[in-house]
Amino acid sequence: MKFDAAARLAARPAIAYDDELPVSARRGEIAEAIRKHQVVIVCGETGSGKTTQLPKICLELGRGAHGLIGHTQPRRIAARATAARIAQELKSELGRAVGYKIRFTDRVSPDSYIKLMTDGILLAETQGDPQLRQYDTLIIDEAHERSLNIDFLLGYLKHLLRGGKNARPDLKVIVTSATLDAERFSKHFDGAPVIEVSGRLYPIEMRWRPPADNVDLAEAIVDAVDECHRNGPGDVLVFLPGEREIREAAEALRKHHPAVANTRTEILPLYARQSAQEQQRVFAPAKGRRVVLATNVAETSLTVPGIRYVVDSGLARVKRYSHRNKVELLQVEDIARSAANQRAGRCGRVMSGVCIRLFAEDDFNKRLAHTEPELLRSSLAGVILRMKSLHLGEVEDFPFLDRPQPRMVADGYQLLAELGAVEDVRRSGLSPTSAEVGLKADLQDRGSSDKELTQTGRELAKLPLDPRIGRMMLAARDGHCLREMLVIAAALSVQDPRERPQEQAGAADQAHAKWRGNEQQQRSEFLAWLNLWQAFGEVWTHESQRKQRDWCRRHFLNTLRMREWREVHAQLHTLCGEHSWRENEKPATYEQIHKALLAGLLGNVGLKSEEEGHYL
């Protein structure tokens, strides 16, 4: 992509700043640091305005003329909302001066200067553009979240800036962090300057309200919201670990909270899987009082306007991989102190705030200072696969902020070997795949491995999927059962939509039993997904949204997760189209489907013990 720098500079939109935001007061100092240094760390509390104002400071400096100003966000909802906000501030239609790109949605035009995207999108672009030539500036936002993608990007950028004939001396990198852990980022980038921006405008009163043993979370939230309402006017932001807890709290508030009976009080859920229209309600002007029930998407990525009170459950849903059981679990855990402080910082923007913590002060003091990086609690198979495809040397030598444990590295290689994605060059007698020219060759010189990607591994590296699900898709393509596997793979990529409330367990089991099908199909839980998919497909195609919801309620299914299943299926279908894979026309057999599944699940095959008559 070539850019006419002079024409782009002349056509820049008018830039204005919001002087009420703390970052605006420091913009001269920030601009000077960006001018003088290749990497700058901007550390500011939530609400300081760094996310929306930094791209405009870069644009005013003339960045975005020789390439795009790339701006990453950890979540799709934040990428889309931030792009809309910056476009509005620049008085430009979304998709023109400011665009965004998230998975399967690209709203960036040749006229764009600023491109919002998820960390995953930027990482995927390194495959075809290893030197990231389409950008002249990169802003890595919310780096303190330490997701796998953020850690990988920070290591990749250090490689890219480090030196050698293929370095990018023209590329500017700005890393933002909402916690005072910025010194780690500065050290990572060889002493890059740190600029601290204050975010909080008004004092915050901390109240500790651990619920009694016989009080559940929903009840504790009802009591806390009631306390907020007695305290005075202002909107309430409640932090909960997930969708289920949000639904339960919303139901409890509607039933029991006296103020909610007043029609001027709105209860608004906010989580990543909502549609853009549903999420937008939280940012729209309110007529009355609001209670926003949010996951940690509102902790750092988005600033919800008008919040005076925060109710913090002290919990979050965390992904954790067990190398012993080879499974990834999504479990509810206590948040770290820095995350709790982030949440508290969401009030005190409009006037003095109150944060009610549903845990004790001594419990808070015992918690971890910072959230454990995702790199240290994830399967490394996908990381190794990506590094191998980019010829970035050994995982152990890569400049991650935190070094992965050797047993997790070994586990990642073991899974890739099981999937047929890597092979030992010494044993196979094959020569390693030659590195690509440019950056990749430079990086490979720093260290090579005896294990190289196979043809299967190279294909897997191109798929933005869990390696096991990607392997099933490849096997299904070759085994003529891709149509069925798209449905099953999409089901395995989302949370189970079947619900089984304790008080109606029998009725739920009976409702779900009808998807089990005939005698042969009953041998496999996977085929129940196909039967459910077909039944819901009829309802989806021919019925209104209200009737779809009623049907799901009768059959103990979560409507939102059913919709998400369809969305993921549509995305996988698009992915297959991009790779020119053809779906089978004839229905696949039981054997074809299960052979494809086994290709990705070899480690889950049970071994029957002859002596004791059970599976190991």
The backbone torsions φ and ψ at residue 614, rounded to the nearest 5 degrees and listed phi first, read -135, 170
Q: What tokens appear for 110 in the block?
A: 């040749």
pLDDT above 50 (res 444):
no
Please compute the mean of the pLDDT values over residues 395-400 and round it to a whole number.
Answer: 87
- 315: part of which helix (H) or strand (E)? strand 315-322
117 Cβ contact partners less than 8 Å away, ≥ 6 residues apart: 70, 71, 72, 73, 79, 100, 101, 102
pLDDT at 358: 97
Rounded to whole angstroms, the Cα distance separating 419 from 279 reads: 39
Lowest-pLDDT range, 209-213, 374-378, 449-453?
A: 449-453
Residue pLDDT, tens place only, 520-572: 667 788 999 999 999 999 988 888 888 988 999 999 998 878 988 998 898 89
In single-letter form, the type of residue at position 166 comes to: N
Please compute the mean of the pLDDT values over residues 462-479 and round it to a whole number.
Answer: 91
Highest mean pLDDT among 240-249, 352-361, 405-414: 352-361
- Burial degree of 395 (CB within 10 A; 0-12, 13-18, 19+): buried
Instruction: Quickly state the pLDDT bin for 257 (edges 50, 70, 90).
Output: low
pLDDT at 551: 93
Instruction: Quickly state the pLDDT bin for 200 (edges 50, 70, 90).
Output: low
Cβ–Cβ < 8 Å for 484, 593: yes
> What three-state secondary structure class fits 194?
strand
CB atoms within 10 A of CB 208: 14
Cβ–Cβ < 8 Å for 296, 318: no
Residue 563 CA: distances (Å) to CA of 90, 270, 511, 558: 34, 17, 19, 9
- pTM of this prediction? 0.76
pLDDT at 345: 85
Instruction: Quickly state the pLDDT bin for 84 (edges 50, 70, 90).
Output: very high
Cβ–Cβ < 8 Å for 342, 300: yes
Lowest-pLDDT range, 85-89, 527-531, 604-608?
A: 604-608
Lowest-pLDDT range, 234-243, 273-282, 433-442?
A: 433-442
pLDDT above 80 (res 135):
yes
Instruction: Quickly state the pLDDT bin for 603 (edges 50, 70, 90).
Output: confident
CB atoms within 10 A of CB 302: 23
pLDDT at 243: 83
> What three-state secondary structure class fits 88?
helix
pLDDT at 436: 37
- List the Cα angle 466/469/475 in 5-degree steps: 140
pLDDT at 530: 92
Rounded to whole angstroms, the Cα distance separating 605 from 616 reads: 9
Rounded to whole angstroms, the Cα distance separating 385 from 381 reads: 6
Rounded to whole angstroms, the Cα distance separating 5 from 522 reads: 64
pLDDT at 85: 93
Q: What tokens appear for 271 in the block?
A: 């989580």
Highest mean pLDDT among 102-116, 250-264, 500-514: 102-116
Residue pLDDT, tens place only, 312-335: 999 998 888 877 766 677 788 999
pLDDT above 90 (res 365):
yes
Cβ–Cβ < 8 Å for 379, 416: no
